[in-house]
Structure 1
Amino acid sequence: MSTPRTLTLPDGVRPETLETDRGAFATLTAVPDLGTPLGTVLLVPGWTGSKEDFTPLVDHLCRYGWRTVAVDQRGQYETTGPSDKSAYSLAELGADVVAMSKALGGYSQLVGHSFGGLVAREAVLTDPSVFSTLTLLCSGPGAFTDETTLQSLQMLAFGLENLPIEQVYDLKLDHESKAPGYVAPPEDIAAFLRKRFTGNVPTSLAEITRRLTDAEDKTDQLAKSGVRTQVLHGATDDGWPLPVQEAMAAALGVEAEVIPDAGHSPAIDQPAATARALVDFFHDYPSLTTT
C-alpha cells in the first residue's frame, strides 16, 4: 500500500470515468494543455492501492507531454466490481486493462505498480498489440515465496472472507502501528487510507491477496511477447526482494533500473525522478543508474 503525502490534486489532474467494453473505471487523468499528446500512459495500481498512488506522477508525466491515466481496478476503491471470486483472476483483471487501452486508443505505455505489475503483464500476454511498452514498477515475477509474508497474506484473505472489512482494517492498522519505526500519518491521510481500504469490494481484495500467494511466474512468456519491457524499482524497495527483481530483469534481457532515495512507492517518494526514468524509457534514451 502506498501512502499519499497530500490529497490535493495538482492543477490539470482531474477525476474522470473511463468507459470500456468491460465496464466503467474510476481514473485520475491529465491531458497536456498545448499540442497533441505524445501518447498515452496507463498506470495500474497494486494491492490495497488505488489511482491516488500515482497522483504526483500523473502530473509530472503530463508535463512531459503525455496524456496520463491512473485507474482503480475492478472492485478497487472507486471502481465497482462483482462479488464473484472468479471475476478477480489475473486473466480477468488483465482483460480489463486491455479494454482500458483500447478505449484510450491503443498503443499505451503501460505501467504496473507492485501487484499491478502482475496484472499489467497479464494484459500484455492477452493482447500485446495494444501496448507500446510495459514497465514493471516495484513488481515481481510471481507470487511471494517468503513464508512469513505468505502466512500474513493468507490470514488477511481469510479475515476479508469472514469479518466486516472495517474490522479487518482495524486489525491490520493495530498490527502495523506496533511495528518498530511506525509513524502515524496526518489525520486527513489516515481518514483517506481507511476510506480507501473499506471502499474495496471485500471479495476483490481477498482474491487479489490470494493472487499474491499463487501467481505463476510468466517471465519467459513475457520475454517472447515482443513488447519492450522495463524493470524499475526504488533503491530500498521492500516488496519483492531486489535480487528477485534483478533476476526477472535479466530473464527479460534488460537491467533493472533504480530510483534513488525511494522505497516501494517511487511515484510518491520521488515522482520527478520516476517520471524521468519512464519518459527516457518511452523514448529509448539512457536512464538512471542500473544495478
Structure 2
Amino acid sequence: MTESQQGRAPHGSRGSSRATPRIHPIAPFGALPVPRGVETLGIDITVGRLTAIRAVPDGIPTNGVVLMVPGFTGSKEDFYALLPLVAALGWDTWAISQRGQADSVAPRGIDAYASRHLAGDVVEVARAIERVTGADRVHLLGHSFGGTVSQAAVIADPSPFKSLTLMCSGPHGWPGRHDIDRRMLLEHPGTDLWRLNNPERADAPDAELGGELFYRQRAEATSTDELLAALDQLADVHDTTYEVAESHLPVMVCHGADDPAWPQDWQRRMARMLKARYAVIPRAAHCPNMENPVDTAVLLDDFWTDVQRKA
C-alpha cells in the first residue's frame, strides 16, 4: 500500500475551502462495469472529494430522493445492482463511498474517521443533494457499518432526512469483533486487507482473479486508518437505539434471511424499540443489495412510498 493509499489528504479541487459542495462527473473506479443508467460523481465537501453514483428515474415521475451508505470494507459500487432497480421504481438514488473507502478522499490518522466525522459527511452530502435536486429531505439507508454511521448522522442532525433504513445493521457492537482483521492490519502495515485474507492469491495476475479483481483493487485503495477506526466503532457496546428514536424519523430495519454478520434478534429488538417497520429479505444473507436486489428494491419502494403518503 502506498502512502497515498494509506492517507490521501485533501488538495486542490478536493480541498475544504468551498462554502457550497460541488457535484460533478468523475471516472468510474475499479474493474466492475458501470450499470446502464448509473453515473459516477464527485461530491466536494469539507473533508475533500467523496465519490458517488447516481441513478435517476427515466421517463416516469420522481417520487423522492435516496442516499445509501456502504459498510465496512465497502464502497458505492456495492449498490451497483440495486440503484437502477430503485430508480426504475421512481426514486432519484445516490450512493457514496465514505471517506477512506475506495477512491474517496482519505485523510491521515485514525481520529479523522471518528464517528462524528463520518456522520458529518453524510449530513453534508444529504444537504448537497437537497440543493442539487430540490428535494424536501432525503431517505437515508445504511448497510451494516454504514448503518452505524447513518444512525450517528440522524442523531447528530435529523433535519435533512425523511426516513432511516438500517439494512443488516444493529444497535451496537461487541468486544472482540473482527479482532483477527485488526491484528493482521496492525502486524502487517502497508498490506491491504484483501491480500491479508487471501495470501495464496495476493500477487496473482489481474487476469487470474476474475470477479475478485475489483475487491483487490478496492482494498488497495482503502485507507488502513479508516478500517481501524471502523473496527473500533463496530466493537463499541454503546446502544444508540433511544438516541435514534429521538430523531422522530420513520425507520425500517431489514436484513437477509440468512444474515450471519449482525445478530438477527438484536435487529428485531431494535425495530421493536424504535416502533420501526421490520422486514426479512428472502434469498439473501448480509448483502441483500447484491444477493437479492429485486426483492430489496420492492421492499424499499414500499417503505418509502408509505412514508411519503403519511408525511
Q: Please, what TM-score do these two structures have when normalized by structure 2? A: 0.80
Contact in 2 for aligned 1:25/1:79 (Cα 8 Å): yes
Select the residue among 221, 229, 237 that pairs with 2:259.
237
- Give matches, 1:195-210, under 5 Å: 195-210=217-232
Gaps of 5+ in 1: 1-5, 177-185, 286-291
Select the residue among 148, 153, 157 that pairs with 2:182.
157
The residue that corresponds to 2:242 in the other structure is 220
User: Which segments of structure 1 move beyond 6 Å, counting only runs of 4 or more?
Assistant: none
Deviation readout 1:239-279 (Å, 9 max, x if unpaired): 11111111111111134201111110000111111011111
The residue that corresponds to 1:77 in the other structure is 102
- Give matches, 1:185-204, under 5 Å: 187-204=209-226
Structure 2 Cα separation of the partners of residues 86 and 171 of structure 1: 24
Counterpart residue type for residue 31 of structure 1: V
Are positions 1:52 and 2:77 aligned together? yes
SS in 1 for 2:116: helix
Rate the CA distance shift 1:251–1:200 in 2: closer, same or farther, 3 A.
Answer: same
Counterpart residue type for residue 98 of structure 2: Q
Select the residue among 45, 49, 61 that pairs with 1:20.
45
The residue that corresponds to 2:25 in the other structure is none
Deviation readout 1:112-171 (Å, 9 max, x if unpaired): 0000000001110111110000000000001135x5xx2xx2342243244244364323
The residue that corresponds to 1:133 in the other structure is 163
Structure 1 Cα separation of the partners of residues 239 and 264 of structure 2: 16
Structure 1 Cα separation of the partners of residues 43 and 57 of structure 2: 18
SS in 1 for 2:211: helix
Contact in 1 for aligned 2:144/2:168 (Cα 8 Å): yes
The residue that corresponds to 2:27 in the other structure is none
Counterpart residue type for residue 29 of structure 1: R
SS in 2 for 1:129: coil
Structure 2 Cα separation of the partners of residues 110 and 175 of structure 1: 39
Contact in 1 for aligned 2:52/2:96 (Cα 8 Å): yes
Gaps of 5+ in 2: 1-30, 131-135, 202-207
The residue that corresponds to 1:260 in the other structure is 282
Structure 2 Cα separation of the partners of residues 95 and 206 of structure 1: 19
The residue that corresponds to 2:154 in the other structure is 124
Select the residue among 99, 103, 107 that pairs with 2:137.
107
Worse-matched range after superposition: 155-164 or 236-245 = 155-164
Number of aligned positions between the proteins = 267
Structure 1 Cα separation of the partners of residues 183 and 166 of structure 2: 28
Q: CA RMSD in A?
A: 2.2
Counterpart residue type for residue 84 of structure 1: G
Q: Please, what TM-score do these two structures have when normalized by structure 1? A: 0.86
Worse-matched range after superposition: 158-167 or 136-145 = 158-167
